[in-house]
Amino acid sequence: MSVKQLSFYETTMAFFDQAARHIDHPRGLLDQIKHCNSVYEMSFPVRRPDGEFQIIQAFRVEHSHHRQPTKGGIRYSRMVDADEIRALAALMTFKCALVDVPFGGAKGGVKIEPRKCDAELLEKVTRRYAAELVRKSFIGPGVDVPAPDYGTGPREMAWIYDTYLALNPGQLDAAACVTGKPIEQGGIHGRTEATGNGVFFGIRHALSYREDLKSIGLEPGIEGKTVVVQGLGNVGYHAARSLEEAGARIVAISEFDGALYNPEGLSVEAVQRFQAETGSIVNFPNATNLHKNTDALECECDILIPAALEGQITAENAPRIRAKIIAEAANGPTTAAAETILQQREILILPDLYLNAGGVTVSYFEWLKNLSHVRFGRMSKRFEEASQLAILNSLEKLTGKSLSAEERTLVAHGADEIDLVNSGLEDTMVNSYEAVRETYLSRKEFGTLRIAALVVAINKIANAYLQLGVFP
C-alpha cells in the first residue's frame, strides 16, 4: 500500500503540528498562527514579442499579520502554484520571528519560465504584476514588502519600485516598498550575497560546539570539511565560496542540468566561470560528470547543502544520504518523511527557517535604510577613523613603536555599510542559533533542531498576538 506524499504546504503544516504539541497556548491561537491570513490569486494578459497574448497566473500570499508589514520574496518559475506560495509564506513568518525581524510572513510567485523569456517580456510581466499588487493593497512600505527569490533579482525589484512610485507619486518612503533593489535605487551593500553569507555564518557557528559534533564524528571548525552543494545560484554560490575560503573542500556541485564530482575539490569560482562561458557545468575539466544531477545529494561528505528548490531529500533517497550535516540553504528541501529517516540515522539538520534567514535579515536592514533615507556608516565612518587614529598616535608616542601604513589603515578603518551589514547578519545568525540550541537541549522530546526552532518562533508570534489583545 503506497503512502500519500505530502505537498510542500502539507509538509510545512506537519512540522508546525509537531511543534505545536509542545506549546501551551489555546488551540484557537495556534490555528490563527498556522493558517494564511490573505491569499491573492490573479491572472492577467501580456503581449509577447510575436504579437500573441499570454495569460499569466500569479500569486501573493500574506501568511501572518501579527507584525506589519509582511515580507517575502517573489519567485518566477513554471513550478509556481498556490500550495508552494502558501508554504513559503508560512516559512517566512516563522523565519522572521525566529531571527527577530519585525515582519509578518508573505510570498509571491509568477508562473513563468524566466530563462525562456526576453527582458522585454519579463519587464511587462513584472510591471503588470506590481500594478495588480498596488491595486489590491498587497504592496507598500507599511503593508507588504516583496524581495527577490528564485528567478528574480535586483532588476525585477527596480521595475517593481518604479511601477509602485508611478502609481503612488510623491510618497516619501516609496523606496521601502521592495527590497533587494540595485544600490543606485536604494538597495544595500551585501544584499545579493546575504542568504549565502547567512548560511556560512550559521554553519560556522554550529561547528563551534565540540559536544554537539562528537556524536556525528566531526571535529569543530570548517577547515578540512568536505562539502556538497546542490544549486549554484545566488545562495549556493556565495555559501560555497565562503566555505571554500574558510578551508572547506567542495567535492560535488549539482545544477539543474547536471552534476560534478571531484574528491580532491572543485573551485567554485572556476565552475561558475565555466558555466557562464558554456551555459552548463557539465564536462567541467578534471571532474567526473554524475549520471543524474540528484546523484550529488548521495555523495559522501561532511556537509550537504541543498540550495535549490523544495522537496529534494525524500523518503526515497534519505536512506542513501551520506552526509553528517544537512545545511538547508533552500526553503523546504527535506520532506517530513525524510526527516524521520535522517533523525533515526543521527544526521544533524540545520533547518531552513534558521539557516535561510540571512536574506530577510539584510532586507530588513535595507528597509530601515530606505525609511531613514541615509546610508549606514555615512555619519559615523570618518569620526570612527579619526578617533581610532588619535588612539594609535597616543599609543605610538607612549611605546615608541610605529605601525606600518597598512597596519594603521587596517586598525583605524571606520565601518562602511557592508561592514555594518555583515556584522548585523553574523550577530543575528549567532544569537538565533543560541536560542534554538538552548531550546533543543532543554527538552530532548523536541527531537530535532527544526522543531525547537519552530517552538521558539511560534511562542514569539503567540506572545505578539496576546500583547495585541487579540486573544484574552
Which residues are catalytically annotated? 107
Q: What are the two backbone dihedrals, phi and then psi, of residue 145, each rounded to the nearest 5 degrees?
A: -120, 100
What is the rounded distance in angstroms from the CA atom of residue 371 to the CA atom of residue 13? 34
Tell me how many degrees the CA angle 118-72-449 measures, rounded to the nearest 5: 125
- Is the peptide bond preceding residue 102 cis, with omega within 30 degrees of 0? no
What is the rounded distance in angstroms from the CA atom of residue 326 to the CA atom of residue 319? 13
Q: Tell me how far apart the 2 most distant CA atoms of the chain are, in Å.
A: 82
What is the grid cell recorded at 132? 495588480
Q: How many CA atoms lie less than 13 Å away from 372 in the CB half-sphere?
A: 14
What is the rounded distance in angstroms from the CA atom of residue 271 to the CA atom of residue 27? 50
What is the grid cell recorded at 195? 542568504
Q: How many CA atoms lie less than 13 Å away from 12 in the CB half-sphere?
A: 27
Question: What radius of gyration do the chain's Cα atoms show?
Answer: 23
What is the rounded distance in angstroms from the CA atom of residue 266 to the CA atom of residue 391? 45
